[in-house]
């Protein structure tokens, strides 16, 4: 446990040095965060259809390149970094799904299974990733915090406590907003389906 805390502190220190302009901190950071980025990417891709052509390594590299371009971010800590990484991966996968839909020239959007199907619909159903992204965008228009909680909990796989830390709110608030957001998303996605 102490080793994990020390690693987390080391990552936070490197992120802050990177934010301060030390490029060498970024080079030292990659080996420390690569395994977690790989777990995140794998978690995302497990939710995708079995014949998905985007590989885990490609998703990690695309997300990492986007993270490196985030020069104006004042990195708070390890959890903040992985929350931003989750947003990047979500955007990459949504863009990828949209491109595939456009390539089909009028074909229907592909259904992508949700690992945690209780989030949005029953276990027997799958949801279109583009529809989920659009529903999250609508949710963010009137409750940005709930949309961020969904991103952090569902897409990034953060715990309630980690999500509370990133958003600087109580775990009880995260739990309450998470439940409301799941119900709202379930309604929105089944309404348009």
| pLDDT tier for residue 50 given thresholds of 50, 70 and 90 | low
Residue 192 has pLDDT above 70, yes or no: no
Closest CA to 13 of 1, 31, 26: 26
At 109 the pLDDT is: 47
Average pLDDT of the segment spanning 68-96: 81
| Contact criterion met (CB below 8 Å) for 59 and 89 | yes
Average pLDDT of the segment spanning 55-79: 82
Indicate the SS3 state at residue 6.
helix
- Per DSSP, the residues of 97-139 read HHHHHHHTSSPPPPPB--TTGGGTS-TT--B-HHHHHHHHHHH
pLDDT in tens, 120-131: 333 334 457 778
At 15 the pLDDT is: 87
Neighbours of 65 (CB within 10 A): 11
pLDDT in tens, 4-36: 778 888 888 888 888 888 888 888 888 888 888
End-to-end CA distance of the chain: 45
pTM, rounded to two decimals: 0.67
At 106 the pLDDT is: 52
Indicate the SS3 state at residue 54.
coil
pLDDT in tens, 177-189: 999 999 999 888 8
Average predicted confidence (pLDDT) for the chain: 78
At 139 the pLDDT is: 94
Average pLDDT of the segment spanning 74-84: 82
pLDDT in tens, 105-157: 454 444 444 434 334 333 334 457 778 888 999 999 999 999 989 988 877 77
Residue 95 has pLDDT above 80, yes or no: yes
């Amino acid at each position: 446990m102490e080793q994990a805390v020390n690693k987390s502190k080391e990552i936070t220190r490197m992120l802050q040095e990177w934010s301060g302009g030390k490029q060498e901190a970024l080079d030292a950071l990659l080996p420390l965060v690569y395994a977690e980025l790989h777990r995140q990417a794998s978690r995302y891709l497990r939710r995708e259809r079995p014949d998905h052509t985007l590989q885990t390594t490609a998703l990690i590299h695309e997300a990492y390149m986007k993270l490196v371009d985030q020069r104006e971010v004042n990195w708070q800590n390890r959890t903040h970094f992985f929350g931003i990484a989750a947003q990047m991966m979500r955007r990459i996968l949504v863009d990828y799904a949209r491109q595939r839909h456009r390539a089909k020239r009028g074909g229907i959007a592909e259904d992508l299974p949700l690992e945690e199907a209780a989030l949005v619909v029953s276990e027997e159903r799958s949801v279109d990733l583009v529809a989920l992204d659009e529903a999250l965008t609508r949710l963010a228009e009137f409750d940005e915090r709930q949309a961020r909680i969904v991103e952090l909990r569902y897409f990034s796989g953060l715990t309630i406590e980690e999500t509370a830390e990133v958003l600087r709110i109580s775990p009880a608030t995260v739990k309450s907003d998470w439940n409301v957001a799941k119900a709202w998303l379930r309604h929105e996605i089944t309404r348009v389906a």
